[in-house]
Amino acid sequence: MEFLVNGEKLDITLQGEKTIGEVLQSFEVSCEQNKLATVGITINGKNVSAEEFDSIIKQELCDDTKIDVSVISEAAIKDSFNMTSKEINAVIELLKNVPVEMQSGKDSHAKQTIIRLSDVMNAFCNTVTWSSLFPETFGSLKVGELSLSDFLSDLSPILKDFSDALENSDSVLIGDLAEYEICPRLESLSNALGSL
């Protein structure tokens, strides 16, 4: 049997495991001890979906069985949140200039700022998804007085209004939303993520 973690081969000694499920169960114990979570499993080159998992784990191990497990660490999630905090601070400074840029014909620079905001928020949402694998560490994370999900629910319609204002080139609304709605929320988010 060949066992890989994030594409790197591990030398492991079986302790009487006879099925793929028994090997994965032993690996999960090690993951918990090392603050890792499994995020993907490939058996013999084929990704295992949630629907296939129950049948796959019953398969007997063979000499040519190849198990490749993708994991993410709690530390990597903290690092990602800290990086997001720094990125958010940079975006806040750029957002403050968007209304003036729109009024002075620098639309392309303003659009780059919006793209950067979108990229940062997408990366943040991905990290939030992975963080749910470590509820004991990240489950109580708050942005101000709001849980992460409530914060995102609160921010989402504001970002939609911001997008609509951009499409309509409404620089007054863009400025108001950036200054009074988006930037303060992003600052709270940055502070919460930076404190991890």
Rounded to the nearest 10 degrees, the angle between the axes of helix 183-194 and helix 74-95 is 150
Handedness of CA 136, 138, 139, 140 (dihedral sign): positive
What's the pLDDT at 172?
85
- Count, residues in the chain: 196
* Domains of the chain listed by start with CATH number: 2-73 (3.10.20.30), 75-194 (no CATH)
Q: Which amino acid is at 146?
A: L
What is the β-pairing status of strands 2-5 and 66-73? Answer: parallel
pLDDT per position as a tens digit, 111-128: 888 889 989 999 999 999
What confidence tens digit (pLDDT) does each residue in 54-76 have?
999 999 999 999 999 999 999 99
Q: What is the pTM of this model?
A: 0.81
Residues 6+ apart with CB under 8 A from 110: 97, 98, 101, 102
* CA–CA gap between residue 147 and residue 140 (Å, rounded): 7
- Banded pLDDT at 105 (limits 50, 70, 90): confident
